[in-house]
Structure 1
Amino acid sequence: MKEQRFIRLLILGLLSAIGPFSIDMYLPGFPDIAKDLHTNVSKVSLTLSGFFIGISIGQLLYGPLLDKYGRKKPLYIGMALYIVASFGCAMASSIEMLIALRFFQAIGGCVGMVASRAIVRDLFDVRENAKIFSLLMLVVGVSPIIAPTAGGYLAAAFGWQAIFIVLGIIGTVILTMVIFLLPESKKPDPDYSLYPRSILGKFGAVFREQQFVTYAFAGSFTAAGLYAYIAGSPHVFMELFGVSEKVYGWIFTIVAAGLVAATQINARILRKYPSEYIIPRAISFQTLAGVLLLTGFALNWWGLYSSIALCCMFLACQGFTFPNASALAIAPFAQNAGSASALLGCIQMAVGAFSTVMVSVFHNETAVPMGGIMALCAFTALCILLFGRRATRKRKEPVESQTIDMLKRL
């Protein structure tokens, strides 16, 4: 039984990690991609934005499909598209072609992110979800530790194209594991309608849940700060601080290690404190780290090591926020878990795409755009959380008072 549980969690973790691995692994290849495709690093970062846009759109497509056809059939289709697009990226001959292929790679790969969250809701008790998401984050967290370092060595030894060939091979292995080792957690629902009006109605029902809106957007803006770091860090560390591809991979590994450690500390803290207690404190510390980064970059206070330390602090806070925000956002839904998961993922990636575009738009040969977007995202998340929780309490109070009055009459 324990072995079966471990295998299921491993596969769900790998499915969740497809997106992050596809993002992180090719970052050290940015300078080589720019050189080979006759462009600049700033424009290469648009391949990252295209990936985020593809994930945002794709998750909305897969949510209804996962609820109607079960979890595995959409997984087969999405993973097949991801594999084909990954090998296609290795053959891209222009930056425009690479942006387009990255978009389709994201459309395919995002099925793993949506399906894994929905399957967690299917297979595990809702009270366990935050802990399960923390365990999945352990697998997801390994990707930014391994991916940039591996990508740096692959790019140095075989060229950036080798990175996408390896991603295609990894996708093939994961698809094989899904086919033979992952059970179907939800039977197809022939009554589930795929008409646009019906789908929009289900998404609307999810959006009307105040708890979902609050934690989905708060979690998404904290994640957007992470994506701003991912988009801006190649320029900051490799061009401004002058580190090599391999050293950048190790820097990314060190920073990501803070994220991984935080997710596991979070799993232990959950034994004593609820998710509602942890989230506001984590986002407050993340906002502080973002403000310190921005101030130091603007005033030229930070060197290489202090910049790494503050980025590590910022990302570590995400390790506390993401599992708890995801669990609380999806908790109210049982029947529409696929749609709720899709909408949650779409919001996360749409906000993330916006943050990466902003880093590119405000690019000025300094570290200020990255630090500024990171600080703004964290502060926005804190505001959403505080106002959203207050609105939720106000909505619950009249209902609770009415219930008490009815009980008194009885």
Structure 2
Amino acid sequence: MNAKPPIYLFLLLIIVSPMGIDIYLPAFPQIADSLQTPLSNIQVTITLFLAALGIGQLIAGPLADRYGRKPLIIAGLMLYIASSTVAALSQQIEMLWLTRIFQGLGTCAVSVSVMSGVRDSYSSERTASIYSYINGVICVIPALAPFVGGWLSETWNWRATFYFMTGYALLIGIISLWRLPETRPENTVCSAKLIHWAQYKPILHNSIFQFNSGLVMLAMAIIIAFVSIAPIRLMVELNLNPTSFSIWFGSNAIINILASFIAPIAIRKLGKTKALQLAITMCSCAALLILLLSHIAHPFAFMGPIFVASTGFCLILGICCSSALAPFSKRAGTAASLLGFFQMAGASALVGLVNLLPMASLHIMAIVMALPLAWFIFYKKDVTLKVYDK
């Protein structure tokens, strides 16, 4: 039997994902000035990273099954290192866009392999607790990374944030070469083709999956829109410095952590259907609030509605992720990869399209916050069944 990898290594590896999103946010205005491009073009770097992260999920799983978890982790880290280095050297926005796509693909390879490695190495009981640790890391890093990024960009410049990503991935890569064993089971079955489109057809035609994956995508779009709009609203329009931005931005990560603990209690007390209605109501109220408070030039007028929507986001994910996968006990992996595709790539594409609208950033945020309600109304007749309350 293969040796079990140390849990701390899984946690260190998964950090490349949230760090790739959050560490350079305080440097958005600097990057725009340096590359002489509008801030809207810098927002696209978030969308491209997350879209690549989502699209890559369709192929990363089969690659990990065919070639092993460790080779894919090392390959992903090498791609992450190379793209981060080139990003730091970028002189045009187009080059930065391209490097962010490759960063997203490298991140996807690492993340999928880590999740597979945990499942390979530990019992189902132990796996649940390790996934909780991983989710905890994913929630905590957005609260810490902007402080590091703000300090790096103020002490040196925005390029230092990408060099930091390079250095971190290089260090973790060396540790992985030394300490990470291969975990792929010897009896792993690999298909001749990496992607079989036919295997996704019955999942896509399932109304339970359609309803829940749609809500997961729209809820994730709220977070992606917030991440891309926050630097503009807080640092450019409200003139916050990188440290103040990091405090306000990081506070939402704390709200997410608290909400992730509260969500299971609310779902248990209310039931899935009522809890989902509450979550969608919170997102809709947040949309209304952000419009009503748009004339107030204070960070809380922006972040208050975000806190409300983020709590709704945690409830939606807790309910709809499990409900979307519930009908597919025999194809859980395929369904999960498709759900991940919609959650990341679908949400990123949606935010990218909405950002093209000729309107203020707060109005765009309000539209995205209201989309879960529109989806809920569209599917209203069978909601109780589709959230899998039984």
Give TM-score scaled by structure 1 length. 0.81
Name the structure 2 match of 1:87: 85
Name the structure 2 match of 1:51: 49
Q: Which deviations, in whole Å up to 9, do the C-alpha atoms of 1:245-293 show, x marking residues without a partner?
A: 2211111011221012212333566787776764443333233223322
Q: What letter corresponds to residue 91 of structure 1 in structure 2?
A: L
Q: Does 1:378 align with 2:375?
A: no
1:304 to 1:392, Cα distance in 2 relative to 1, 3 A: closer
CA distance in 2, matches of 1:127, 1:268: 22
Range with greater deviation from structure 2 (341-350 or 219-228): 341-350
CA distance in 1, matches of 2:15, 2:272: 23
Q: Where does the alignment leave 5 or more consecutive residues of structure 2 unmatched?
A: none
| Aligned-pair CA distance for 1:303 | 3.5
Q: Does 1:293 align with 2:293?
A: no
Give the one of 37, 40, 52 matched to 2:38: 40
| Aligned-pair CA distance for 1:146 | 0.8
| Aligned-pair CA distance for 1:332 | 5.0
| Aligned-pair CA distance for 1:190 | 6.7
Range with greater deviation from structure 2 (356-365 or 106-115): 356-365
Name the structure 2 match of 1:264: 261
Range with greater deviation from structure 2 (119-128 or 152-161): 119-128
- 8 Å CA contact 1:117–1:341 kept in 2: the answer is no
- 8 Å CA contact 1:114–1:345 kept in 2: the answer is no
Query: How is 1:7-406 mapped onto 2 (pairs within 5 angstroms)?
Result: 7-8=6-7, 10-119=8-117, 123=122, 125=124, 133-176=131-174, 178-179=176-177, 184-187=182-185, 191-195=189-193, 199-266=196-263, 278-297=275-294, 300=295, 303-331=298-326, 333=328, 336-362=331-357, 364-365=359-360, 367-373=362-368, 375-380=369-374, 382-383=376-377, 386=380, 389-390=383-384, 392=386
CA distance in 1, matches of 2:124, 2:271: 15
1:224 to 1:46, Cα distance in 2 relative to 1, 3 A: same
- 8 Å CA contact 1:283–1:381 kept in 2: the answer is no
CA distance in 2, matches of 1:276, 1:118: 31
CA distance in 1, matches of 2:76, 2:257: 27
| Aligned-pair CA distance for 1:369 | 1.9
Q: What letter corresponds to residue 282 of structure 2 in structure 1?
A: F
Name the structure 2 match of 1:404: none
CA distance in 1, matches of 2:57, 2:156: 33
Provide the identity percentage.
Answer: 25
Range with greater deviation from structure 2 (97-106 or 35-44): 35-44
1:177 to 1:346, Cα distance in 2 relative to 1, 3 A: farther
CA distance in 1, matches of 2:270, 2:217: 22
CA distance in 1, matches of 2:116, 2:210: 18
Q: Which deviations, in whole Å up to 9, do the C-alpha atoms of 1:161-194 show, x marking residues without a partner?
A: 1101111222234444555555655425675224
CA distance in 1, matches of 2:218, 2:123: 27
Aligned residues between the structures: 386
Range with greater deviation from structure 2 (155-164 or 350-359): 350-359
Q: Which deviations, in whole Å up to 9, do the C-alpha atoms of 1:48-84 show, x marking residues without a partner?
A: 2221222232122212223334433322222221121
The DSSP-based 3-state class of the residue aligned with 2:293 is helix
- 8 Å CA contact 2:207–2:386 kept in 1: the answer is yes
Range with greater deviation from structure 2 (43-52 or 13-22): 13-22
CA distance in 2, matches of 1:242, 1:72: 45
Name the structure 2 match of 1:406: none
CA distance in 1, matches of 2:40, 2:139: 26
- 8 Å CA contact 1:68–1:189 kept in 2: the answer is no
- Aligned Cα RMSD in Å? 3.4
CA distance in 2, matches of 1:212, 1:116: 25
1:162 to 1:127, Cα distance in 2 relative to 1, 3 A: closer
Range with greater deviation from structure 2 (276-285 or 44-53): 276-285
Name the structure 2 match of 1:408: none
CA distance in 2, matches of 1:69, 1:80: 16
1:356 to 1:208, Cα distance in 2 relative to 1, 3 A: closer
1:200 to 1:232, Cα distance in 2 relative to 1, 3 A: same
- 8 Å CA contact 2:283–2:309 kept in 1: the answer is yes
- 8 Å CA contact 2:212–2:387 kept in 1: the answer is no
Q: Where does the alignment leave 5 or more consecutive residues of structure 1 unmatched?
A: 398-410
CA distance in 2, matches of 1:273, 1:118: 33
CA distance in 2, matches of 1:332, 1:321: 18
